[in-house]
Structure 1
C-alpha cells in the first residue's frame, strides 16, 4: 500500500509543480488552488509512505516521478520542446528508480 501511495504522491508532485508554473506567481486563482491542494496531498502521501519505505528510497522515487511527470507533461503540451536526448535521459531516471526498488 505504501508504494501505491508513494506513486500517487509523485504524480501529485508533477501536478503541483505544473500548477505552480501556471499560477503566474499566485496571481491566478484556479492554478493556485490546484497547487495548494496537490502539494498538501503530495506531502501527506510522501509522509505516509515513509513510514514503510526508507526515507532515501521514498524521496528519490517521489522526486523522480514528479520530475519525469512534469517534463513529460510540458513536452506533451508544447510547453517545452521534445528531443530524443531528453526522452532518453528521462528513461534513465526511470531506470535508476527501478534499480533502487530492486536493490532495496
Structure 2
C-alpha cells in the first residue's frame, strides 16, 4: 500500500507542476487552486508512504516520478524539446528509480 500511495503522490506532483505552469504565476484561479490542492494531496500521500518506506527511497522515487512526468507532459502537451540528450537524462533518472525500488526490498 505504501508504494501505491507513493506512486499516486508522484503523479499528483506532475499534476500540480503542470497546473502551476498553467496558472501563469498564480494569476489564473482554477489552475492555481489545482496547484495548491495537488500539492497538499501529494505531500499528504508522501508523508503516509514514509511511515513504511525509508526516507531516501520515498523522497527519491517521489521526485523522480514528478521529474519524469513533468518532462513527458512538457514534451507531449507544451511542445518542449525531446532532444536525444534530454531523453538519455530521463532514462537515467528512470533507471535510478527502478534501482531504488529494487534495493528497498519492498
TM-score higher than 0.5: yes
**Structure 2 residue runs without a partner (length 5+):** none
Instruction: Give the corresponding residue for 2:6.
Output: 6
Aligned residues: 104
Cα distance in 2, alignment partners of residues 15 and 59 from structure 1? 17
Cα distance in 2, alignment partners of residues 2 and 103 from structure 1? 15
**Structure 1 residue runs without a partner (length 5+):** none
Once the two structures are TM-superposed, the CA of residue 79 in structure 1 deviates from its matched residue by: 3.5
1:47-93 per-residue CA deviation (whole Å, 9 max, x = no partner) reads 00000000110000000000110011001113411112211210110
Aligned residue for 1:43, secondary structure, equals: helix
Once the two structures are TM-superposed, the CA of residue 101 in structure 1 deviates from its matched residue by: 1.4
Normalising by structure 1, what TM-score?
Answer: 0.95
**Equivalent residue runs for 1:1-104 within 5 Å:** 1-104=1-104
Normalising by structure 2, what TM-score?
Answer: 0.93
CA RMSD of aligned residues (A): 1.0
